[in-house]
Amino acid sequence: MERHMVFISHIIHLRQIIIGSYSPQIISKLDIIIGYVMRRLLKLREQSLKIKVFKLDMMPEHNKHMSHHFDLWMNMVSENHVEVLELCLLCSAPYHGPNRRAYRYDLPHCVFEVKSLTKLVLKGKIKLNQSFFNHSIKLFSLRTLCLRELLLEDKGIIEHLISHCPLLEDLTVSCCLAYNRKNPFGDIEFVESLFLHGLQKLKEADIQGIQETVSQD
């Protein structure tokens, strides 16, 4: 029983849906969430306990208010040798149309330097910027990768990422968008092709919203 309780203490699973503008009630909810997560993370750090699972599932209409806190949490869980990281910032607005340029969270590079990570799930209003190519990827233990509805500054980011995951067994890529560099207005479009190479351990691949997928062992 004691062992089970210790294991549970290593898991942080946060789910909160936030809608509307920044009313005092919304700000109060955000403060509660921020305080709760920080207390849990600091307690685990003080006790020198590794984080087994960190799940953040939110639907904020104004992510900018939370970006600083997201960055801090990602750095803390990365330093604490997290094994499973799931970040879901779901988008209530359509990707195309007047909201296609809506704010998206810039994921910090520290996430891709966690050697202990075995599962990484990224969904929704998350952006991977072009500077990603200039940073080392150390996902040597990653076996499950799920990328859904992300925004990429370069179409080659996904291929670059998965090429550095030698133990990857389960891959999901769905409806990711990228900037169209040929368009003078910098519009965005769905990623059209994906080249999978060097994935000798791959067992399952679920690729959606991409017209052409080429596999090579």
Give the tens place of pLDDT for each residue, 139-162: 999 999 999 999 998 888 999 999
Evaluate if residue 34 carries a pLDDT over 70.
Answer: yes
Tell me the C-alpha distance between 148 and 173, whole Å: 6
Question: Which range, 8-12, 67-71, 194-198, has the best average confidence (pLDDT)?
Answer: 67-71
Angle at 119 between CA 83 and CA 106, to 5 degrees: 95
pLDDT band of 63, cuts 50, 70, 90: low
| pLDDT at res. 19 | 44
- pTM for this one? 0.83
Tell me the C-alpha distance between 42 and 179, whole Å: 38
CA torsion through residues 125, 179, 68, 41, sign: positive
| pLDDT at res. 71 | 93
Dihedral of CA atoms 173, 179, 183, 184 in degrees, nearest 10, equals: 180
Tokens 């910098």 belong to residue: 186
